[in-house]
Chain A
Amino acid sequence: MTPAAITSYRTPTARGYYGEFGGAFVPEMLFPNVEELRTQYEEILASKSFRTEYEQLLRDYVGRPTPLFEAKRLSEKYNTRIFLKREDLCHTGAHKINNTVGQILLAKRLGKTRIIAETGAGQHGVATATVCALMGMPCVVYMGAVDIERQASNVARMRLLGAEVRTAVSGSQTLKDATNEAIRDWLANPIDTHYIIGSVVGPHPYPDLVARLQSVISEEMRKQLLEKTGSELPDYVVACVGGGSNAAGAFYHFLDEPSVQLVAVEAAGHGIYSGHSAATSVLGTPGIIHGSRTLLMQDADGQITEPYSISAGLDYPGIGPLHAWLGTTGRARFIAITDDEALAGVRECARLEGIISALETAHAIAALGQLGAGPNDVVVVNLSGRGDKDLDTYMKNLDKLI
């Protein structure tokens, strides 16, 4: 599909394609599960009973709407008008819970009795464990051995919430491998289990489902911007991208507003071309990972290569198919930020605004200097999560932070 044929960036085709990206490349064992979701998710999401329960939980349990905070000192530094969308103030500390609240309600309506999930940084795992506790559903979270070590506090949270955390020991022992293990669990438990995918990745309809559930972020942004600036539309929306769920949510209601520049910030690790990077939009080529055709990091033989980032939530070798499409059509601009730049972003947000952000989010903050925004421009950064979970990493890097 050429850009000229695009009627809305929001909507994939019936088979889940965003341009050349998307689809549902799953083994036959998963076909009925994915098909069940595909044929039912739109109707369930649109139903009055779902909307009522979802909106009530977002308000009373998650704490929505999250504030849109005008960051005056950051604005002064970058000589532009910067707002922070405070997803870090959501229950469990990140935007991830918007999606898990929605998916657990979906799972209930599909008659599922068991939940599985994968997690990298642990935020999605904690958000899933939380809603499972809320709904009294058993929960198994797959997490790479490396991530279990670097996100120990989130592992403790999940266990406290009653979830079973299972260690993925294959491959790089990070998010990619946790996802493989979760898919295998789903293969083994096709009838009673719903797999709550935490990002806009995976087979159709997950990228669309998760984007819609996260779109509450940009829906609120529009209302809040109107109150604070007199216009629903900012000039820039900036968000970090691993798989890309917070970015999809922050972009969603601006996708078809061409005046709004969408900026996706990836993890460049030790440097884009250092061999230790997760900058998929630069290093990736079209291929298939975890059930969808998207941009992914792979070698010439089509073997998926190991990404790297200091941030456990961003070291994923692919990006969601929507983001691959936004990138290749030029609708979104991609910026890559190194580990050191991200740590500087953590420091800057803490010192200038009194907010200790998650490492993932700090990548977005670190990109502010590269936007080219002017004094009259309005910039919204999606502050996707708070940094409590990253305190161990911050303590190890105190020389760069203090």
Chain B
Amino acid sequence: MNRIQTAFEQKQNLLNIYFTAGYPALADTLPVARALVAAGADMLEIGMPFSDPIADGPVIQHSSTLALANGMNLKTLFGQLGALRTALPDTPVLLMGYLNPVLQFGVENFCREAAAAGVDGVILPDLPVAEYEEEYADTFRRHGLRPVFLITPQTSEARIRHLDSISEAFLYLVSGPGTTGGAGPADTTVQDDYFRRIEAMDLKTPRLIGFGIADKASYQRACVHADGAIIGSALIQALEGASDAPAAAAAFVASIKN
């Protein structure tokens, strides 16, 4: 049993918060993480900043650009995460980012350092499933890192079943077309149909809904159809220009949970 599975067994309506490592300031990573969890975040998704994050919208891209300018890189991040498990012994933590920096760091090195820091899972949206299975699955498994796969309204049923069968964490339901930080649909009928279609598939893997989840109302709506939700851009916006980033992070989570 790993922390991700435990969280889904013990909690309902999981709130997974994404934030960019090294943003707004280089040393904010762990203080922001602690504040998020203290305020009620159930799971953390720590963004590894990348210069060209094609699945992300302008808010996360901007935070990544600033984090890189702050000097964030994987070596620094793993250094900062050294104290993670002491500070947050039970919270599932995932790293989210793009494949190229991981490849340059070395997949084996990346997995070893992530595992040593107590990371539970990894989200790499541009890592193709076939490449993952053939090239990297053994390495991930050896270090106990669980990959998270994305599903969109266009993903075929056969592919969803396959992703469900190889998943050991949760399935990331992308709420609709677009990048992170986009507004949710004005008419939610189509989206609800999609969520219901996935629900009806009776998958073994828990599901979190992300993209376009920004406030209490959209979080609660996601929880009707899945095991919880992922929020990123809205939190980043709340941190922007904040004089006390951990306090702003805590206030944001409180606004969702309370």
Contact = CB atoms under 8 A, between A and B. Distances in A.
A227 B253 CA distance: 75
A298 B154 CA distance: 33
A303 B128 contact: no
B177 A189 contact: yes
Nearest to B50: A303
Contacts of A31: 128, 152, 154-155, 159
B151 A28 contact: yes
Interface stretch (B13-21, B96-104, B221-229): B96-104
A31 B153 CA distance: 11
Interface stretch (B52-60, B83-91, B233-241): B52-60
Interface in B49-73: 50-52, 54-55, 57-58, 61, 65, 68, 73
A348 B186 CA distance: 59
B138 interface: no
A327 interface: no
Interface string B113-157: 000000000000111101100000000000000000111101110
Interface string A13-35: 00100000001111111011100
Contacts of B174: 28-29
The size bracket of the interface on A is 20 to 34
B130 A15 contact: yes
Contacts of A29: 55, 150, 152, 154, 174, 177
Contact of B61 (A15, A25, A170): A170
B155 A25 contact: no
A300 B61 CA distance: 20
Contacts of B155: 28, 31-32
B31 interface: no
A25 B126 contact: yes
Contact of B179 (A32, A184, A288, A289): A184
Nearest to A287: B100
B54 A300 contact: no
A291 B126 contact: yes
A386 interface: no
B178 interface: yes
Given A170-B61, A303-B50, A28 B101 contact: no
B82 interface: no
B57 A25 contact: no
A191 B151 CA distance: 16
A252 B31 CA distance: 56
B74 interface: yes
Contact of A303 (B101, B125, B182): B101
Given A32-B156, A180-B52, A184-B57, A26 B177 contact: no
A298 B58 CA distance: 22
B52 A301 contact: no
B73 A24 contact: no
Contacts of B127: 25
Give the interface centre of A24, A183, A187, A300 by most chain B CB atoms within 10 Å. Answer: A187
Nearest to B51: A303
A184 B130 CA distance: 23
Contact of B126 (A27, A32, A171, A184): A27
- 10 closest residue pairs by CB, A with B: A302-B104, A302-B101, A28-B150, A27-B125, A188-B178, A32-B154, A303-B51, A27-B55, A301-B73, A302-B100
Interface of B: 50-52, 54-55, 57-58, 61, 65, 68, 73-74, 98-105, 125-128, 130-131, 149-152, 154-156, 159, 174, 177-179, 182
11 contacts: A23-B131, A25-B128, A27-B55, A28-B125, A29-B150, A29-B154, A190-B152, A288-B100, A290-B54, A291-B126, A302-B103
